[in-house]
Every structure is written in structure tokens, then in C-alpha cells.
Structure 1
Amino acid sequence: MDFAHLALARDPHDRLGLHRTDDAWLDERWADDAARVLVVSGTRVRPRDGALEWVPTAKAPDGLRILLGDRDGTTWWAVVVDPALAKAEPDQWFPLRGLLPFLTGEAMATAPLVFHALGLAEWHWATRFCPRCGGTLTSRAAGHELACEQCGKVQFPRTDPAVIMLVTAGEPGSDDERCLLGRGAVWPTGRFSTLAGFCEPGETLEDAVRREVLEETGVVVGEVTYFGNQPWPLPSSLMLGFHGRAESEEIRLDDDDVEEARWFTRDQMREETAAGTLVLPGGVSISRSLIEHWYGGPLPGSW
């Protein structure tokens, strides 16, 4: 089965990490007429004519230059400018989640570049002062490091590991096998997804799966197997997908984040998605891939 979420990272770019401190090399690549730039206002991007706009460097505004890398012989950059630009036109500039509809078809090939650009833009936005001494930070290494001007401590971008899991019960492959989905407290009725949560310090990914499922639904999980992963810089996560086998099935909702949780058989899932009473995450989400992998094929409808 072809999983849609993997398309977001299927054709990665060469990040050219060894050249980030070579100013002469960076200037030469910036001067290349073929180079392309994504303009980011704070953490937002403005699509034009229904697509993300990558401009030549000669048309890029002044701002923080971030080297993204090389893909198909082209050097790709981001330039981060004052967030006031997006604030002045809030209906035209979108955060990453709002850009996902533009990352379809041929444009999906640029998704790793967009994720790279906005992940770093978000990091620069959130990391204003040195966490050690409170000093001023200076960007270097083509936007991939922040160095404190007072104590010299260097900060690097952080990625938070998050687990996302499809938990199943019953005889595998049987008509009675069912999967566990939950609905967030602020979601509309009928919208369900796989459970997810962040890995805590000193915790394995498998234990994070078991803990999160237990905390959110009261269901005990035993065996945990790896499925795949997806970059998800909303703002700085890496989603690690797992399958879990339930050792109990009674649902107990003690977590305020989960409003409702249900077990679904394949027949129930097919009937309810067709009727529109069950709405699942969009196709680019690893959650959708986990569900459809278990179901055995594509399902109708999405958020």
C-alpha cells in the first residue's frame, strides 16, 4: 500500500550541512539565478494563485537567510522577514497547517523543503534568548545555529519525539478485530483519530505508547511494533507511528484531552465513513496511514 504521509519526505533534499559556515560558497550559491527562495513572515507563508511561491534570490526581500539545500541541481533557501508583514495581511499568510492543502500533486515534492523552512522559522521565533544566561542570540551556520553573545553557548534546533498509535483488539484479520480511536474535546462530533502524545524524558518510545493510551483511555497495551515516521513541524515534532495490541478493552476516560473513545470494527468503519458519521484525518497524516493500513485499503472522507 502507498502511504500518503510518506510522500511528504519521499524525495529529501541534500541539506548541504558541510557548507553552512562557508560564506564564500553561500554567496556564490545565493548569486545563482536558478536558486529559489521561500519568503516566510515570522512563521507564515503567503501562497499566490493557489500555490506556494518560490522566488529567485534577486526578488527575495532582506531578512534572515536560511540554506535549505540542493534538490535536482537547484539551491533552495528560505528568507525569514518581519512577522508584521503577515499580521498586516492575516487572510493571505498561512501557518504550516494552513499550507497543507497547497502541498498536493507535484507541489508535494517541495514538502520536505517547506517543512525544513518553517521548522527553522518557528525555532528562531520561539528561541529569543539564551536559556543559560538570558543573553542575546546571533544566528549563524546559515540559520541552523544560535550563539549567545554573552556566554558563548550555542543552541541547535530541537525536535520533539511524539508517538502516534493505532491500538487493536481481537483476532488479527478477523471480522471481530477492532481498532481504538479517540475524539478530542474541542473536535466536532464524529471526528476521530488515532491516539498520540509526547515522549517524556527517560522513556522509550514503546513505553510512551503504553503510557499515553492508558492515560487517555484506560486501555492497557502490551505488544508495540513500529510502523513508520513523519516530520511534523507543528511546531517541532517528529511523529513516530506504532501499532499496539490491547490487553484490556474497557475504556475509562480520565484525561480531559479525550472527549470520546470507541472501538471500531472494519465493517463499522466502512459504513460510518461512507455515511459521514465518522470523519478521519486527512490523507497526508500518518494517522490516516495507520488507519488505512489496518483497514486494508482507502476509506472515504477526511477532515
Structure 2
Amino acid sequence: MQNWGEAGLLDHCESLRSDATWVAAQWASPQALLLAVDELGRVSAGEGLTVPEQSPHGAYDAQRHFLLGLAAGRPVFVQAGETDAMASLRELMPVLDDADRELVVKAVALVNWHRTSPHCSVCGSLTVVTSGGLVRYCGGCRRERFPRSDPAIIVAVVDADDRLLLGHQVAWPTGRMSILAGFVSAGESLEMAVHREVGEESGLRLSSVRYVGSQPWPLPRSLMLGFVARAAGTRIEVDGVEIEHARWFTREELTAAEDAGEVSLPGSASIASRLVAEWRSGELPAPEG
């Protein structure tokens, strides 16, 4: 999985996309590509889970056709809709290269924003799409509205013996476990959210917290912010509402539980998988504290 820590490969064309004539010319380019995103957040896919070589067709409609940017010089657009072959981000992200992975994530994020936020959040007026799809303009407020991301923390908690804490959510299938996560509340720092969520879900206090990295997850519009933290103790008291049970694992215990079919971990598309994998390899040192 890409760790999302490098510069993006997609050119957003910030200085050009406000020119509607230029954007329309990109739609008409013989090199242009068109992706589709359906109501479930699935993306049009080519054979073997690839980004399809689908060209735009018909007249350009600024309210329906959104320019993601230029990928290696090729204009890439997205629209809400469905094609014969659709695939989820969980299917696509582990197999696509960095450039195409960035495309499909941005495609889902942008279509979801337009689908769920057509009206101004202040005055309620219907907004119109501008800047090739990256802005919605409110005529009532005379202000521009931009896509938003909801910050959520996800944290690998380890104890003094370097055991990893995994929890099982009430709504999950039997055996599925992962590290703890939750949304950041209003007026709360990321670190405060880490302490609060871990305390609420497991009853543990943390002695230290360290930021690791982030990952966009546009279902619906989350930005996952990954941390590693050291627990001040080992006594677990789950909330019973969101987390049904939790336990500490050594590396050997986790491998044995997976081999026996007792535990299933997050898919490789997720930052949770990355954090667990780095802990298993010894590449995720917890902060001292």
C-alpha cells in the first residue's frame, strides 16, 4: 500500500481550471480519460482491475463532468454514474500503481462531495459547479464552497512488552479485529482525540503518542490520521457499545490466531493494515513515555 507520504502525481491545474473554455478543451482532447463513480462509491474498472481506457463522449457539461487533473499530461474526468464493470476502492487500491490509486481515490471523493453537498451549508441555496468541479459557488452568499474532509484518528496501541492492542467492533463479522479509531471532535486536537478514543473504547490511558502518517478514505469523506501510542497500563475495559472485546497480542500470538482462522485483519488497502504490518516487522517503534 502507498503510504501517501510523497508528493501527489496528479497535476490539479489550479491556475488553469478556472477557465471554462480551457476545461472544455481538455474534455475534447483525444487523450482524455473518463471515470465513473456509482452511488456505492465504486469506480469504473477495466479488465484485471485497472483504470479503464474510456474516453469522454458527448458534450461537456460543467455541472456533471469534473476534471480531476492531468495524469502524465492526460486530462482525467469523472462523473456520477455506472458502467458495465465497477469495483470498490478496497478491491482497486491494493492492485493499482501509485498514480492510478491517487486517481480513483480522488474520483470517489469528488463525486461523493457533489452528490451530498449540492446546497450551501449557510443559506441553503442551490450551488453551481465551477473551476472544473473543484468548487461550488453559492449565488445567495456569493461565496465559493470547497470539498471537505472529516479527520479521524487511527492508532496502534502497544504496551511495555510491545504487544499490540486489537479490538472487535460490535457490527463486525466474528473474528474480525483491528486497531482503534474514531473521528476528531470539534475543538479537539488530533492527540486529544487519540487519548479520548482509546480511553472510551478500551479504558486504557496512554503515556505517549506519536504521529505516523495519513491516508485519504473518501467513504464518505474521511482523512485517516495514523498514530502509534504507548499504553500506561494493560487492564482493558471495553465500552461494550462500539467495541465488543479487545486483547493484547504478541507477534507470535497474532500469527497463530490468523493461521487458525480465529482472527482476520484489515485489508491491505487500509492504513490500519500498514500500521499493523509495520508493528509486526519491528518498524513501528512506540514513543517512550
* Structure-2-length-normalised TM-score: 0.88
Superposed, 1:42-191 pairs within 5 Å as 42=39, 43-51=41-49, 52-58=51-57, 64-81=64-81, 93=86, 98-106=88-96, 109-171=99-161, 177-191=162-176
Given candidates 16, 23, 27, the residue that maps to 1:26 is: 23
Q: Could you tell me how far 1:200 is from its partner in structure 2?
A: 1.3
**Any gaps of 5 or more consecutive residues in structure 1?**
172-176, 299-303
CA deviation after TM superposition for structure 1 residue 135, in Å: 1.3
Contact 1:8 1:112 in 2 (8 A): no
Q: Distance in 2 between matches of 1:210 and 1:122?
A: 30
Q: Deviations over 1:193-225 (max 9, x none)?
A: 010011112211111111000001101112001
Aligned residue type for 1:67: L
The CA RMSD measured in Å over matched residues stands at 2.5
1:152/1:10 CA distance change after superposition, 3 Å:
closer
Query: 1:7-26 to 2 correspondence within 5 Å?
Result: 12-26=9-23
Partner of 2:246: 261
What are structure 2's unaligned runs of at least 5 residues? 284-289
Shift of the 48–235 alpha-carbon distance from structure 1 to 2, 3 Å rule, reads same
Deviations 1:83-138 (A, max 9, x none): xx68xx9xx655xxx24213443455311111111101111111132221221111
Please give the per-residue CA displacement for 1:142-162, whole angstroms capped at 9, x wherever unaligned: 111112232323221101111
Give the deviation of 1:192 after TM superposition.
0.5
Within 5 Å, give how 1:147-296 maps onto structure 2: 147-171=137-161, 177-296=162-281
State the SS of the aligned residue for 1:243.
Answer: strand
For the 8 Å contact 1:219–1:250, the answer to whether it is kept is yes
Identity of aligned residues (%): 36
Residue 32 (structure 2) aligned to one of 28, 31, 35: 35
Give the Å deviation of 1:58.
3.3
Cα distance in 2 between the residues matched to 1:112 and 1:15: 12
C-alpha distance 68-107 of structure 1, shift in aligned 2 (>3 A): same
Alpha-carbon distance in 1 for matches of 2:95, 2:270: 15
Measured after TM superposition, the shift of residue 41 of structure 1 is 3.8
Distance change (3 Å), C-alpha of 1:276 and 1:14:
same
**2 CA distance for matches of 1:159 and 1:122?**
11
Cα distance between partner residues in 2 of 1:269 and 1:20: 49
Change (3 A) 1:5 1:228: same
Q: Give the distance between the partners of 1:164 and 1:283, measured in 2 at CA.
A: 15
Cα shift readout 1:171-204 (whole Å, capped 9, x = no counterpart): 4xxxxx3111111101122110010011112211
1:231/1:239 contact within 8 Å kept: yes
Q: 2:133 aligns to what SS in structure 1?
A: coil
For the residues of structure 2 that align with 1:47 and 1:54, how far apart are their CA atoms?
9
Residue-pair matches, total: 280
Q: CA deviation at 1:45?
A: 3.1
Q: Is the alpha carbon distance of 1:16 and 1:240 closer, same or farther for their aligned partners in structure 2, counting shifts above 3 Å?
A: same
Residues 148 and 238 (structure 1 numbering): CA distance in 2 closer, same or farther, change over 3 Å? same
Question: Residues 155 and 24 from structure 1, CA distance in 2 versus in 1: closer, same or farther, beyond 3 angstroms?
Answer: same
Whole-Å separation in 1 of the counterparts to 2:25 and 2:44: 27
Shift of 1:229: 1.0
Paired with 2:7 and 2:263, the residues of 1 have a C-alpha distance of: 29
In the alignment, what sits opposite 1:174?
none
CA–CA distance in structure 2, aligned partners of residues 265 and 259 of structure 1:
20
**Cα drift, residue 9 of structure 1:** 7.2
Q: Normalized against structure 1, the TM-score is what?
A: 0.84
